[in-house]
Structure 1
């Protein structure tokens, strides 16, 4: 594989020549880096013309990535940044059979992630997700106790899973489900989501009555919601 970087039409391009049949282009977050995979037999002129023909599309894609703060896919590798309860930590992989659990060094702001010698991204992700799950399990009981006293309602069960919403409430059986990723956010966000879902045990929809309940039980809920979704 041959790799080179060149500037075409004021756009910096990384070109990788491979034993492939077709040419491919990727615009990568977070900085809109342009990567082109090209067959070994293609001439420089053919590659240049291809990139020039895609200039408008490249600029449009780069603008979208920057304006929407699109982040690069996580690789769960050394030096990568991950949050725990609203604080940023640097990930450090440790290949040590005697270490079985994720370790946090508050002073150095490090997360030590024990991994097998030949770990995949999916395996490392699974290990870190399990750490977040345990963090949620520890955090929920005191938050639930506090919030049920505020709202005056108690769920039948509180579950944890990965989901698109931060939480949901099944009104008919009083079951609340919380997003695993709340363990990455400021602890006040967990309280806000818990109060939000408990209020659904009183008012199922998000109408005026529901918002009045939120104003009553969590006066700064709009500010917390904004912080949660940042």
Structure 2
């Protein structure tokens, strides 16, 4: 699977909304020739489908039933990871403002998290996975060989999201910053698998740093962890 290492490992990258987890995780996976798993996209898919089917995001029972019967699949694509829900490509529909505002609520529901976590663990079973989210190192893959907690200031994260939206943005930077702060609060206070830094996770504040610097640092940590495992098995 991996030309850089005889012993592929699992890498968990956690952090709040807008910290750059998805971009960093994808580039780390490319560098190590690992598989990238965007867990946030899975929760967004559930949220998007619920909204499209007229299921109120605050109806935990109905959203839970939807998640239990929804087949969410992540596939590699030429322009990034594709997200399918029951065979339908929903990649372009999971980054809307409405999904942004409701995904944290949907992600608090036990039935939703249980179903998604089961799928995520299956993806990581063979090793050689870089998985990003909010509870990967603490809940989904607590035995990951490398854990990273990636963050940035709320202002920096809001600015990044605002730039990503470009001409499609129908929200002010100030409102986006408020939305991100509220999402942080919901992620940290939820009862099921809250956003926490694992005790053994390496900490990175990406404020003012380039993507390349962060990726290089994590890649080196990953290779070092793999070398340690290799040495231990000799």
TM-score range normalised by the length of the shorter chain: under 0.3
Higher strand share: 1
Higher helix share: 2
TM-score when scaled to structure 2? 0.22
Please say which structure displays the higher CA radius of gyration.
1
Structure with more relative contact order (C-alpha pairs < 8 Å, separation 6 or more): 2
TM-score when scaled to structure 1? 0.23
